[in-house]
């Protein structure tokens, strides 16, 4: 670039929207994070614009969401469109991957949405915060115990926030769980009671894989709570170790 | 006198090669695994051909008669080649009926196999009787019975033709374009509109490849003269509400999924490599290319050569091909084979 010439990139904005203007550099940064994802080239090979993904997509029936549009935005490197889709649309995907099973090019629109969600979280987008807020209790349980719930916990009393529909669950879940043809370690009674060593190992995984960083970006309060739980468990574990040495 | 040329397969390219060789005074042994000659256009009962509009039984049937009445062509029907040994100018073929053919060269005109739509179960073939293939529609025309819904024999009022069934689909390992289906579908659509003026015909496509001179004669004319509707969408599923077929696709303009009712759904099936290609590859010691078609040795210098000297190849054996191009390739391979057997003859005389 010629010295002295400053490239003036005007920020991109929607003239009929009140949404704050997003700097072009920010759009580039977000897109580059998506494209640099190790799975990106595996999920996107090109696009014939045939629409079989959208035709088969259950979410497209109910929401303003089209997997073909997601693929096209990424393939044509439409930075504004990609950023815009991350504000709401990507959270409509149910991650069923029927699109990937049908695409004649073997693209995976569902996989691309997964990447976009990761990047939305990394950038602390408000859409990610809004979507995940109702799940803070689930997140707390999954992160602190490694699992969310056991079948016998699904009762109206245990989940008042799930609304009246939870009362309709009257299947013999304990029996059904025993019919699962893989070992379930009989966790139905002990789902939230996790071995100390397992817990500590789990926390290491959360830290090493960046899950905790993501949580801190998205929900600082929950991060604080989880950190307290982790510290507590680690203290307990260290105490137990010391006891063993004595 | 030179040894005959063995022509394997009696479809358009094989008939063309046999005729060309005989016209040049060369003896030919023509073998076909079927009990009649003509190949796919005759055996599968094609109706009017692109681009001439002639009936297959007249056009290809004429080629069959021309070869069958030629004294230089010896025809063995209902047999296959079991082994093929020797070298250029001096080959020996063992046939399935136990007989032996000594040949100076061979031309593989072994064609293709129609894609079996059962391999795309979500499109309803084999589940719903009113989901048919382009081949079946050809048969409806060539039999004189006309296009009817197989379930109850009624005249369809709404027909959907789905393109690229068994083509351009990595999910099922068919990564090639079958080349002919767009034009064939436009042709069929116009024929349906002529036969049943009240019937609406819709063609669902990813791209339209009515290549070369077929653009205006088929793609444009089917729209301008026959009001065939082209919709850019790949269909996700064909289901039924109990009365009519439901075709689930995306309206790509408004980006919304839609379900549309139809009386008849037609799969524009593609051209697979011949199901016998693995056997042919072993018997004739010729290589197959990546998709399973018989590999051509050279694109430019000698287009009829296979990977084995003295064994030539023509027509849809090398990949999806039109009838008229198959006929041209049959002649081309005949010329290459003729040059070989004549030079072998000259060498023997010296």
Show the domains of chain B with their CATH numbers. 5-111+274-349 (3.50.50.60), 117-271 (3.50.50.60)
- pLDDT over 90, % of chain A: 61
pLDDT in tens, A75-99: 999 999 999 999 999 999 999 999 9
Q: Does B328 touch chain A (CB under 8 A)?
A: no
The complex scores an ipTM of 0.80
Q: Does A69 touch chain B (CB under 8 A)?
A: yes
**DSSP classification of residue A20:** P
pLDDT in tens, A115-171: 999 999 999 999 999 998 888 888 898 898 887 776 666 666 777 777 777 666 667
Query: Which parts of chain B are beta strand (E)?
Result: 5-8, 28-32, 73-77, 81-87, 90-95, 100-103, 105-108, 112-114, 131-133, 158-165, 200-205, 229-232, 237-240, 245-251, 256-262, 264-269, 271-273, 311-313
Distance from CA of B95 to the nearest CA of A (A): 41
The residues near A6 (Cβ < 8 Å, ≥ 6 apart) are none
Q: Which of B186, B251, B174 is nearest to A50 (CA)?
A: B251
CB contact under 8 A, B237 and A56: yes
Q: In angstroms, rounded to a whole number, what is the distance separating the alpha carbons of residues A202 and B218? A: 64
Q: Inform me whether the pLDDT recorded for A189 exceeds 70.
A: no
Confidence of residue A11 (pLDDT cuts 50, 70, 90): low
Partners of B169 on chain A (C-beta within 8 Å) are 104
| Stretches in chain B below the pLDDT threshold 50 | none
Distance from CA of B241 to the nearest CA of A (A): 17
* Residue-level pLDDT at B301: 81
Q: Does A104 touch chain B (CB under 8 A)?
A: yes
* Residue-level pLDDT at A14: 64
Partners of B260 on chain A (C-beta within 8 Å) are none
Q: Inform me whether the pLDDT recorded for A3 exceeds 50.
A: no
* Residue-level pLDDT at A194: 82
Q: How many CA atoms lie within 13 A of B347 on its CB side?
A: 10
Q: Does B231 touch chain A (CB under 8 A)?
A: no
A170, two tokens: 């009257």
Q: In angstroms, rounded to a whole number, what is the distance separating the alpha carbons of residues A209 and A225? A: 19
A105, two tokens: 């090019």
């Amino acid at each position: 670039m010629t010295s002295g010439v400053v490239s003036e990139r005007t920020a991109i904005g929607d003239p009929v929207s009140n949404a704050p203007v997003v700097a072009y550099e920010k759009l580039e940064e977000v897109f580059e994070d998506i494209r640099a994802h190790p799975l990106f080239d595996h999920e996107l090979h090109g696009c014939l614009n045939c629409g079989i993904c959208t035709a088969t997509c259950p979410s497209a029936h109910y929401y303003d969401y089209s997997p073909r549009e997601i693929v096209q935005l990424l393939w044509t490197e439409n930075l504004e469109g990609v950023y815009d889709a991350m504000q709401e649309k990507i959270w409509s995907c149910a991650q069923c991957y029927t699109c990937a099973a049908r695409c004649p090019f073997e693209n995976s629109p569902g996989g691309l949405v997964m990447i976009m969600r990761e990047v939305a979280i990394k950038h602390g987008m408000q859409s990610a915060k809004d979507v995940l807020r109702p799940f803070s209790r689930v997140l707390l349980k999954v992160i602190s115990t490694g699992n969310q719930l056991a079948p016998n916990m699904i009762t109206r009393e245990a989940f008042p926030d799930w609304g009246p529909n939870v009362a309709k669950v009257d299947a013999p879940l304990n029996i059904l769980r025993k019919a699962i043809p893989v070992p379930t370690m009989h966790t139905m009674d002990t789902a939230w009671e996790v071995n100390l060593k397992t817990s500590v190992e789990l926390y290491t995984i959360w830290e090493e894989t960046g899950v905790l960083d993501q949580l801190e970006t998205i929900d600082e309060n929950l991060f604080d709570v989880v950190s307290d739980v982790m510290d507590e468990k680690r203290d307990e574990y260290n105490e137990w170790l010391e006891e063993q040495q004595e | 006198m030179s040894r005959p040329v063995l022509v394997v397969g009696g479809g358009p390219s094989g008939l063309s090669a046999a005729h060309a060789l005989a016209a040049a005074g060369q003896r030919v042994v023509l073998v076909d695994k079927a009990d009649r000659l003509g190949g796919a256009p005759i055996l599968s009962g094609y109706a009017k051909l692109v681009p001439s509009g002639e009936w297959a039984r007249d056009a290809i049937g004429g080629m069959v008669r021309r070869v069958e009445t030629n004294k230089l062509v010896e025809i063995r029907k209902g047999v296959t080649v079991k082994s093929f040994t020797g070298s250029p100018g001096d080959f020996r073929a063992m046939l399935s009926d136990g007989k032996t053919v000594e040949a100076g060269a061979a031309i593989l005109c072994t064609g293709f196999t129609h894609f079996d739509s059962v391999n795309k179960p979500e499109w309803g073939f084999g589940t719903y009787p009113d989901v048919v293939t382009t081949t079946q529609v050809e048969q409806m025309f060539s039999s004189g019975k006309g296009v009817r819904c197989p379930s109850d024999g009624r005249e369809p009022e709404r027909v959907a033709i789905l393109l690229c069934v068994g083509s351009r689909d990595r999910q099922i390992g068919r990564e090639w374009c079958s080349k002919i289906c767009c034009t064939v579908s436009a042709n069929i659509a116009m024929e349906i509109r002529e036969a049943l003026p009240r019937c609406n015909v819709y063609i669902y496509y990813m791209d339209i490849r009515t290549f070369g001179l077929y653009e205006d004669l088929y793609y444009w004319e089917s729209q301008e003269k026959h009001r065939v509707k082209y919709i850019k969408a790949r269909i996700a599923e064909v289901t039924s509400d109990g009365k009519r077929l439901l075709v689930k696709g995306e309206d790509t303009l408004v980006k919304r999924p839609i379900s549309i009712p139809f009386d008849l759904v037609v799969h524009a099936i593609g051209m697979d490599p011949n199901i016998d290609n693995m056997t042919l590859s072993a018997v004739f010691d010729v290589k197959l290319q990546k998709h399973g078609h018989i590999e051509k040795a050279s694109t430019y210098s000698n287009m009829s050569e296979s990977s084995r000297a003295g064994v030539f190849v023509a027509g849809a054996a090398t990949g999806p091909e039109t009838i008229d191009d198959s006929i041209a390739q049959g002649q081309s391979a005949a010329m290459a084979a003729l040059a070989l057997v004549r030079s072998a003859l000259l060498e023997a005389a010296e």
